[in-house]
Every structure is written in structure tokens, then in C-alpha cells.
Amino acid sequence: MIDAVVFDLDGVIIDSEHVWDEVRQRLAEERGGRWHDQASREMMGMSSREWSRYMHDVIGLAEPPEEINAEVVRRLVAVYHEELPLLDGAVEAVEALAGRWPLGLASSSNRELIDLVLRVSGLERWFAATVSSEEVARGKPAPDVYLEAARRLGVAAERCAAVEDSENGIRSAKAAGMRVVAIPNPRYPPAEDALAAADVVLPSVGALTPPAVEP
């Protein structure tokens, strides 16, 4: 039985994975970094502490990770203020599931970005608990952010369903013991073994309805 649903943000509610990539790649190119083809996939799901350290150590930016993080967030805030890339059907899906269960959000985005997206989209009223991976010890694929979302909701993790789009997100929610509803990201499709670990696979967030979540 499901007692709560926990959403991912990037790739589930907003079409933003490529925006993150564009911002980080542009910053790397501007500042003499060594961007490579696997950088986007390797950073996907990392917390802000983790990916900013990766940008410093692996991509080769000279600035301290804290400055890299702050600059990327500043640029993303500007993009979201100009046009929030909401996925078609995301608002309706959130509202439909909120009519059936309390909702949480477990995101790799920074707290500032989570709050901005939920405020601008008008979705903040539907979420009883939100967690950024910068608020826990480890980012995805570790289960920390999902376990913390369940704790803040006051629901056992195994009584929660998670809605995810990415490989590391699916692994994270599964490691937390949640029922996983996967909506594969078409730009960065999860590996077959990660997708096979999901309990339900849907073609789009528009197909996310209460009956699709129920065991």
C-alpha cells in the first residue's frame, strides 16, 4: 500500500537536465575547463557539493567549488526567471496525485532552485515536504535524499512511491525501498538494468495518474 508519493524535480516536473548541462559546459569553456562527453551523465544526480567538486577536480575549473556552485545557480535562476521549462502534463499530474496522497519532493537541485521552481509554477502548495540533496550526506544514487523526504513526510520509505526519470534517481529511490515509477528521460535514457529495477515505466508525465502509481 502506498501512503505518500515523492517526486524528483529535474526531468519529471521541469525539462531542465539539458539546461544544467548547457550552463555548466558554457562555464567550463569560458574558464578553460576540460569538458568531456561523459561529464553530463557522470554529474547527473550529484548533490551541489559533489558536482561543484567534480567541476573543480575533473573538469579543471580553478575557482573553489563553492564559487562554481554559486555561479551555476545564479545562471540557472536567470534562465528560470526568463522561462520556466515546465514539462507538459506535470502540473496536472502533481495535482491529480495530491488529491490522493501527501506529496514530497527529493531533488538534486539546490534549495534556492527548488523553491523558485515550485513558487513560479504554483506547485508549492501541493508539497508537504521538499528535500535538496545538498541537505543530506550523499547525492543520488545513494538513497539519502529519498529517505529524508520520507522522514519529513512521516511515512515509512517502503510505503512511498517515487517518480523518477534518470538512472541514478531510479537507483536512489530503489535503494530507499520505495516503489519506483520511472518516466525515462529521452535525452539521457537510463541503462536497461536501472530501468528494469523500476516497478512501473510510463511514457511521459502525462500518463502519471493515481492508478499508475498504485501497486
CATH no. for residue 118?
3.40.50.1000
Select from 82, 102, 133 the last residue of a domain: 82
Residue pLDDT, tens place only, 2-47: 999 999 999 999 999 889 999 999 999 999 999 998 998 899 889 8
Residues 189 and 206 in one domain: yes
Residues 156 and 209 in one domain: yes
Select from 82, 106, 127 the last residue of a domain: 82
Residues 142 and 182 in one domain: yes
> Mean per-residue pLDDT for 146-155?
98
Residues 46 and 117 in one domain: no
Residues 110 and 172 in one domain: yes
Residues 63 and 93 in one domain: no
CATH no. for residue 22?
1.10.150
Residue 181: pLDDT above 90? yes
pLDDT value, residue 148 = 98
Residues 148 and 69 in one domain: no
CA 107-112-113 angle, to 5 degrees, is 55
Question: What is the rounded distance in angstroms from the CA atom of residue 18 to the CA atom of residue 76?
Answer: 11
Residue pLDDT, tens place only, 84-133: 999 999 999 999 999 999 999 999 999 999 999 999 999 999 999 999 99
Q: How far is CA 119 from the centre of its chain?
A: 17
pLDDT value, residue 187 = 87
Select from 38, 55, 82 the last residue of a domain: 82
Q: The domain containing residue 149 runs over which residues?
A: 4-15+85-213
Nearest-CA neighbor of 50 among 180, 141, 112, 175? 141
Residues 77 and 106 in one domain: no
Residue pLDDT, tens place only, 52-68: 999 999 999 999 999 99
Place of cell 550529484: 46
Residues 51 and 113 in one domain: no
What's the structural domain count of the chain?
2
Place of cell 529521452: 186
